[in-house]
Structure 1
Amino acid sequence: MSTEPELLILGGGCAGLSLAMQLAALGRDCPRTVIIEPRTVYANDRTWCFWGTPAAPLADLSCHQWSTMMVRAGRKIAFVDCAAMPYRMIAAADFYAAAQRAIAANARITIAAGERVTTAPVKRNGRWQVITSGASYSAATVVDTRPAAPAEPGGATLWQSFSGVEIDCDEAVFDPACVDLMDFSLKDTGRIQFVYVLPLTARRALIEVTVFDPMPLAAAGLADALEQAVAARVHGLTYQVRRAEQGILPMGAMAPAAPVDPDYVRAGLGNGAARPSSGYAFQRIQRWAAGCAARVTAGQPLQGHVADPFLLQAMDQLFLSVLTAQPASAPALFVALFGQPDAARVLRFLSDEGTLTDYLALIAALPARPFLQQIPATLQRVLRQRRMASA
């Protein structure tokens, strides 16, 4: 393993491995790359979901897909037909295995497993010096996929905290044809809280509790709600827990990290990959990684995630502003959003493929008053963030 690579990737999670897969496909044009990853073994510790056709990046890794989704708020239910753009699930085990196969096939990329960065990278004589628990590296370019800041109040407009378990039930209790995308049936806690169910078979499902709140919550803070959610689904039947997963995603960063240097690129979930209004990041990361590989081929420097267009930023921030100011309105808003007549519009919007016509239709489907009240503050926030990002 070279300690003087052309490229050093800090973090071998979704973003780091996605970039590595794209670079590995370049063959001999791949820069000499080392990935610094604290883990020694990759576990099946999470899932990534997105709406996409078979042509979507890494769609072939999907282990499940669904053509129908449901959003429930009390007696109001919106069923969404997403057959044209199925909701797909990729298991971490499959993604990690595919990434490791791609890396193993190109000798120009290696993973320094079990190593952790111990000091802040420093640039000397035009190269980045990075010290880890296992070695000292000198690289021309660094891609840092680690979170720029810890999850804490004020670090994002809202935090999406989730905790879930994949269970096997003794009897058939799940509908494997329909995803419970958002079920607001849990006891009211004064915060935006819903149950998310991915039915894998009639007896097996991933059940999660998700909270949107200015305060990030660890799994322990969601334990009681998760227990209630599972109990409501299994109806007293015996079940076994196969695995657990949890996480905290940023929804609308308050202050994007300023670029350190053109040769020091920040990327990944905590550095602009997550869609502010939803927290979805997988496909955005794939597009970024493919763009980086194209830049390598063209002899151009790598770059981080490109800012969303102004209108999309404004819509995301406006929606987050309403959720923050009026959390009690969230269930009705989401039912209205997913219940509008043309489901394809909302799916395109959530997948970053929306048109101006889609935006206008979605706005028309939502109650006007709460959004009108938040427009002035939202525009100020978006303009401030754009100025900071371009500084």
Structure 2
Amino acid sequence: MNHYHYIFTGGGLSALLTLFEMIQSGRFSDKKILLIDSSSKDKNDRTWCFWDTENLFDEIISKKWNIAWFKNESFTNQLNLSPYEYKMIRSLDFYKLIFEAINKHPNIEIFHDDVIDYSELGNHCIVKTKTKSFTCNQIFNSIYNPEVVTSQTKFPLVQQHFIGWFIKSKEAVFTEDCPTFMDFSVEQKGNTRFMYVLPTSSNEALLEYTLFSKDLLSTSEYESEIEKYIQQLGITEYEIVEKEQGTIPMTCFPFWKNNTKNIINIGSAGGWSKASTGYTFKNSVKKSKELVQFLKTNSDFTKFYKSNKFRFYDLLLIDILYQTNQYGSAIFSSMFKTGKAALIFKFLDEETSFWEDLKVIWMCPKGLFIKALLRRIF
């Protein structure tokens, strides 16, 4: 049975970012590392977007924007994002970059199979796949088990779920330099529903029908809403170039409490997505850097967690979306109608002062948050 210093169970975004950060640090070249994932990562299976003021992964950014639309049934607001830019990365470009780096390091191995079990046995761990077993000192687990969250009621679970179409249309209807960040003018049907449009040219764009809600829809319902939206844009002929879909858990469940000395949960399994928005890429970049920095001086994974005020803010919003899902449009509309996008982005990046927090919170419907606060207190 082969033994490794570290094994990654699952090779998604968080695992690849952490492994890339380990490579960049230059501190782990003497460690045997194994990455286990059933996928070969040779297809463009998703799109990641994030706002940024730096040059984060600029070499693989496929598109960036300085302005964006926010829309609902009663107003349209063009947001000035400065000093931020809104950036898009296609997953295949990300995979190529990471695996090119991995292939230069003979201490890192990749094994394609399904992980069926992993556990800690004293001072070492064991990982079982369908065909093999391995031992290691420590495990980075990114395989999300929804039952961990759904088996309790203290921390509700809201899903961000979506289907997206990359289309190429006959008509030039898109404004290439201005994406639609959220369009709540679509019928809400008792939920928080919006359309998300990322144009790459005047006749090419990614359109995603997105919900923040408890329950998923049938594929046909997402796609019929996308078709309806395309018609409303005035498009009569179009080609679907690619499709993508996803589900991101939005919850403040304390995943870190399930870490052990030698097993850490990362990614969705570790609560690395921003609970109040579902944004994952930039949050995972931050967490992966923190984790690799932690590894330089500490080997006990139960100590890798820092709580902050933003988790409580997220908890209140998730409580509202779970209890009264129909108010999502009103909450986000109140923020983006009067607020500066840069302040909101800074707040969502968890980089604001308490005074700046109050500015953002004051924009929101106060009755909803007071009720959520009282429910949490009592």
- Match of 2:132, as an amino acid? A
Kept in 2: contact 1:191–1:328 (CA 8 A): yes
Quote the residue 2:291 is aligned against.
Answer: 292
In structure 1, the residue matched to 2:86 is 87
Q: CA deviation at 1:157?
A: 3.0
Which of 298, 316, 319 is matched with 2:317 structurally? 319
In the other structure, the counterpart of 1:216 is: 216
Distance 1:41 1:277 in 2: 28
Instruction: Kindly indicate whether residue 48 of structure 2 is the aligned counterpart of residue 48 of structure 1.
Output: yes
**Structure 1 counterpart of 2:130:** 133
What's the counterpart of residue 72 of structure 1?
71
Kept in 2: contact 1:49–1:89 (CA 8 A)? yes
Match of 2:350 in 1: 352
For residue 147 of structure 1, give the secondary structure of its aligned residue in structure 2. coil
Query: Which residue in 2 is equivalent to 1:329?
Result: 327
Give the secondary-structure state (helix, strand or coil) at the position aligned to 1:140. strand
SS at match of 1:321: helix
Aligned-partner Cα distance in 1 for 2:325–2:242: 31
User: SS where residue 95 of structure 1 aligns?
Assistant: helix
Which residue number in structure 1 is paired with residue 337 of structure 2?
Answer: 339
Aligned residue-pair number? 374
Q: Quick one: structure 1 residues 292 and 323, their matched pair in 2 at CA, closer, same or farther if it must change by over 3 Å?
A: closer
Change (3 A) 1:163 1:304: farther
The residue number in structure 2 matching 1:387 is none
Does the 8 A contact of 2:163 with 2:222 survive in 1?
yes
CA drift of 1:303 comes to 6.5
TM-score by length of 2: 0.91
> Matched residues in 2 for 1:160 and 1:268: separation?
15
Q: Aligned Cα RMSD in Å? A: 2.3
- Cα distance in 1 between the residues matched to 2:306 and 2:226: 35
Structure 2 portions without partners, runs of 5+ = none
Q: CA deviation at 1:145?
A: 0.6
Which range moves more in the overlay, 278-287 or 324-333? 324-333
Contact 2:257 2:302 in 1 (8 A): no
CA contact (8 A) 1:209 1:225 kept: yes
Q: Is the 8 A contact 1:217 1:248 kept in 2?
A: no
- Note the alpha carbon deviations across 1:299-346, whole angstroms, 9 max, x for none: 54456973540x212211222233333333322321220122433210
SS in 2 for 1:277: coil
Secondary structure in structure 2 of the residue aligned to 1:190? coil
Residues in 1 aligned to 2:270 and 2:8: alpha-carbon distance in whole angstroms: 14
Matched, 1:378 2:376: yes
Alpha-carbon shift at residue 165 of structure 1 (Å):
0.6
Structure 1: state its 5+ residue gaps. 381-391
Instruction: Report the AA paired with residue 133 of structure 1.
Output: K
What is the aligned partner in structure 2 of residue 207 from structure 1?
207
User: Once the two structures are superposed, what CA deviation does each residue of 1:200-222 show, in whole Å capped at 9, x if it has no partner?
Assistant: 11111000001111223464442
Task: Please tell me the residue identity of whatever aligns with 1:77.
Answer: T
Give the fraction of aligned pairs with identical amino acids, expressed as a percent. 22
CA distance in 2 between counterparts of 1:179 and 1:111 reads 37
- TM-score, scaled relative to structure 1: 0.88
Listed as ranges, the matches of 1:1-391 within 5 Å are: 3-27=2-26, 29-30=28-29, 31-56=31-56, 58-113=57-112, 115-118=113-116, 120-124=117-121, 126-149=123-146, 156-217=156-217, 219-233=219-233, 235-254=234-253, 256=255, 258-298=257-297, 300-302=299-301, 306-309=305-308, 311-379=309-377
Deviation at 1:143, TM superposition (A): 0.6
